[in-house]
Structure 1
Amino acid sequence: MRFPLTSFITVLLLSVSAMALNVARTDTADKKPPHPKVCDPNAKGKDLEKRQYDAVADFADLFLFKQDVRAAFDKYVPGEYIQHNPFAEQGRDFAIEVLTGGVASGIVSTNLTFFVGNGYGLMHYKSVFMNTTYAIVDYFRFKGTCIVEHWDVLQEITGDEPNPIAFF
């Protein structure tokens, strides 16, 4: 039964996967309308890498910590989405459906670092799901400031690794 759970976890974590559940949001009346600005697939210029860095930072915040899968995808993955996870279907709709289900299942993420350069972005973080801990890397390709392609790598952390700094 190990493989099906691993496959499910992989699909569940297929995009900048993982969030923290059980956070009650009672301050919605004080908030501005959610994320009105959308990425720009035609963005160019000297500041493009900085804008892509800002996009990954905001995407990670929306997706991993605020647990708003729909807002993250609507803002940064508004159209084309090529998926390289072998257990995932192509396109953003499948990703949104599976990842939204992950929020409801109680994924908690920490230890986020991210990098951007040459039209690509990378997020590395720790997620706990169903009492199993994973080190995850999500790797994105940009078109302008929009995420259009995704790869991921996931390693289970058992706590028995001989290298104490193996993952982070």
Structure 2
Amino acid sequence: MRFITSFITVLLLAVSALALNVNIARTSSEVQTASKPKPPKVCDPKYNKADLAQKQYEAVADFADLFVNKQDVLTAFNRWVPGEYKQHNPFSAQGREAAIKFLSDSFKSGTKTSKLTFFAGQGYGMQHFKMSSGNTTFAVVDYFKFRGTCIVEHWDVLQTITGTELNPIAFF
């Protein structure tokens, strides 16, 4: 009888602990779902505080994620590229709106991206990624100049990846 009482006690404790864990997990999930989303980030061309380098890094990280990973050109530009935008790509017209159209059209045509890396420092930022469009694959580097936390100027370099490169670690 003692054994059965002890067994039932242990069983009840185990069931209670399991129920408690389920409730904790559900409560945690409910809290995460109920938390208010952060307002969207928007660049500040006059930002000049001591943490400017960190803020520029965060801008490049968010821009790169939106642009390369999510292919959301409009949101990336709305957050990080103000009205002023000098474009050095020889195949795109000047200005913000021309860049948005050029890049959005590229992604709509089935362009795929991967292997993203990025960094920022001393008023500049860069993203490096792989891009495939049609039957052509490129290694891409976008180079940005900042004013505050806003991207105001852009250069890019593309290298065609043929698959016959002598260097086995070429590009990435």
List gaps (5 residues or longer) in structure 2: 1-35
**Alignment partner of 1:102 is 2:106:** yes
User: What TM-score results when the alignment is normalised by the length of structure 2?
Assistant: 0.76
Q: How many corresponding residue pairs?
A: 138
2:23 is matched with which residue? none
Determine which structure has more spread, i.e. the larger CA radius of gyration. Answer: 2
2:60 is matched with which residue? 56
2:40 is matched with which residue? 36
Once residues 98 and 113 of structure 1 are traced to their aligned partners in structure 2, the CA distance between those partners, rounded to angstroms, is 22
Bigger relative contact order, structure 1 or 2, given CA contacts below 8 A and separation 6+?
1
Once residues 110 and 119 of structure 1 are traced to their aligned partners in structure 2, the CA distance between those partners, rounded to angstroms, is 25
- Three-state SS of the structure 1 residue aligned to 2:83 is coil
What pairs up with 1:52-131 in 2 under 5 angstroms? 52-131=56-135
Once residues 39 and 143 of structure 2 are traced to their aligned partners in structure 1, the CA distance between those partners, rounded to angstroms, is 23
User: What TM-score results when the alignment is normalised by the length of structure 1?
Assistant: 0.78
Change (3 A) 1:130 1:53: same
How far residue 119 of structure 1 moved from its aligned partner, in angstroms, is 0.1
The aligned amino acid for 2:142 is D
Deviation string for 1:132-165 (max 9, x for gaps)?
Answer: 1100000000000000000000000001000011
Change (3 A) 1:105 1:35: farther
How far residue 35 of structure 1 moved from its aligned partner, in angstroms, is 6.3
How far residue 39 of structure 1 moved from its aligned partner, in angstroms, is 0.3
Could you say what the CA RMSD is over the residues aligned between the two structures, in angstroms? 1.8
Once residues 113 and 37 of structure 1 are traced to their aligned partners in structure 2, the CA distance between those partners, rounded to angstroms, is 21
List gaps (5 residues or longer) in structure 1: 1-31
Q: Percent identity between the aligned chains?
A: 63
Say whether the 8 Å CA contact 2:68–2:116 is kept in structure 1. Answer: no
Structure with bigger helix share is 2
